[in-house]
């Protein structure tokens, strides 16, 4: 298809998608005003969106916030994309915070003016604009609250220079997670200031079992088995049965810090364990102690699997 024709048709699809989003927001507004959700058996319009219509919590939250400002946006501006769900939600959130801070309702005119200022702005531009507009609400307090026994949520304001450092560290560490960057940075700083404390710092990476997120991250970072023959420099690069290995084993005091984790295939994980603990010890985990043709490997929780099972699906080289 011709590129321009394709682009024109795609523009139509985007417009229809914006129209649909607008319609959903109108519906949410109507449901909230008429309190239909009560009749329908839900505790709130959020509940109705999440449980009945399968929105995620954040998606429901964004739409409810945005729907409350919808009356201030001409439908045409929404369908054209001059104002979108994201930027409208940003305004709504700021308005709510500002009203909470001052204890006064913002006038319709003031809200209208804000909404017109964000037309054709990206969400980053909108964020900056709102920060300039409401300096008191957008700066200041750090909040740190517990989400569960293992996790907390930190909300803080970063000057542009600090944010640039964070983004650079994400690149260098190959992660999208600010929490991972913070943990690495905290560990590095603690090592410098309080060497003894760094080793026992209670962070995610010091948790007893390896969090699933961290496990996935290590495997995604490596993509293939990282085992390298120290003599020839040959790297395994297998993509089968990838596992996360503690370079210094936990039994020997190894931590869950990124620097102590690597991705190995099952075969090299076992090999590494043998190097650490000796072959006799690791043989206890094998059902076939001196394998000739087939091997079985320790399986977590389920216990060893039979060698025959593996012989049919996999063929390993001789275990020397």
Q: Of 16-24, 87-95, 137-145, 261-269, which part binds Zn ion (CB under 5 A)?
A: 261-269
Nearer to Zn ion, 182 or 222 (CB): 222
Q: How many residues sit close enough to Zn ion to count as binding (CB under 5 A)?
A: 6
Q: Which residue has the tokens 């295939």?
A: 265
The CB-of-155 to Zn ion minimum distance in angstroms stands at: 42
Alpha-helical regions (H) of 118-159: 123-133, 135-138
Q: Are 254 and 248 a contacting pair, CB within 8 Å?
A: yes
Taking CB under 5 A as the criterion, the residue among 265, 270, 273, 288 binding Zn ion is 265
- By CB under 5 A, tell whether 222 contacts Zn ion: no
Q: Which CB atom, from 234 or from 259, has the smaller least distance to Zn ion? A: 234
Say if residues 219 and 264 touch (Cβ distance below 8 Å): no
Number of helical (H) and strand (E) elements in the chain, helices listed first: 16, 4
145 strand-pairing partners: 153
Residue 265 Cβ vs Zn ion, minimum distance, rounded to whole Å: 3
Which one among 22, 62, 63, 268 touches Zn ion, defined by CB under 5 A? Answer: 268
- The residue range among 48-56, 168-176, 212-220, 264-272 that interacts with Zn ion, by the rule CB under 5 A, is 264-272
> C-beta of 304: minimal distance to Zn ion in Å?
20
The interface mask with Zn ion, positions 228-247, x = CB under 5 A, is --------x-x---------
End-to-end CA distance of the chain: 59
SS3 316: coil
Tell me which H or E stretch contains 118.
Answer: none
The residues, any chain, with a CB within 8 Å of residue 152's CB and separated by 6 or more, are 144, 145, 146
CB of 158: closest distance to Zn ion in angstroms?
Answer: 40
Interface with Zn ion (CB under 5 A): 225, 227, 236, 238, 265, 268
């Amino acid at each position: 298809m011709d590129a321009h024709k394709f682009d024109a048709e795609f523009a139509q699809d985007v417009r229809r998608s914006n129209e649909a989003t607008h319609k959903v927001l109108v519906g949410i507004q109507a449901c909230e005003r008429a309190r239909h959700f009560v009749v329908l058996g839900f505790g709130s319009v959020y509940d109705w969106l999440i449980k009945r219509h399968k929105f995620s919590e954040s998606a429901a939250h964004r739409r409810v916030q945005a729907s409350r400002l919808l009356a201030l946006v001409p439908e045409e501006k929404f369908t054209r994309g001059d104002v979108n769900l994201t930027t409208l939600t940003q305004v709504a959130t700021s308005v709510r915070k500002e009203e909470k801070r001052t204890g006064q309702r913002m006038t319709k005119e003031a809200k209208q003016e804000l909404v017109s200022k964000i037309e054709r702005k990206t969400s980053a531009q909108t964020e900056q604009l709102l920060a300039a507009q409401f300096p008191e609400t957008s700066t200041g307090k750090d909040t740190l609250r517990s989400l569960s026994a293992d996790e907390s949520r930190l909300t803080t304001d970063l000057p542009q220079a600090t944010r640039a450092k964070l983004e650079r560290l994400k690149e260098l560490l190959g992660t999208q997670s600010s929490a991972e960057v913070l943990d690495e940075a905290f560990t590095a700083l603690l090592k410098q200031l309080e060497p003894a404390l760094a080793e026992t710092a209670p962070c995610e990476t010091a948790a007893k079992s390896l969090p699933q997120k961290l496990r996935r991250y290590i495997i995604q970072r490596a993509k293939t088995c990282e085992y390298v023959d120290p003599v020839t420099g040959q790297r395994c690069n297998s993509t089968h049965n990838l596992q996360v290995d503690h370079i210094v084993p936990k039994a020997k005091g190894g931590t869950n810090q990124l620097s102590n984790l690597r991705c190995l295939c099952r075969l090299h994980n076992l090999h590494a364990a043998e190097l650490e603990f000796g072959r006799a010890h690791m043989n206890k985990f094998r059902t076939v102690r001196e394998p000739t043709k087939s091997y079985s490997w320790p399986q977590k929780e389920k216990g060893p699997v039979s060698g025959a099972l593996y012989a049919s699906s996999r063929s390993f080289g001789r275990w020397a």
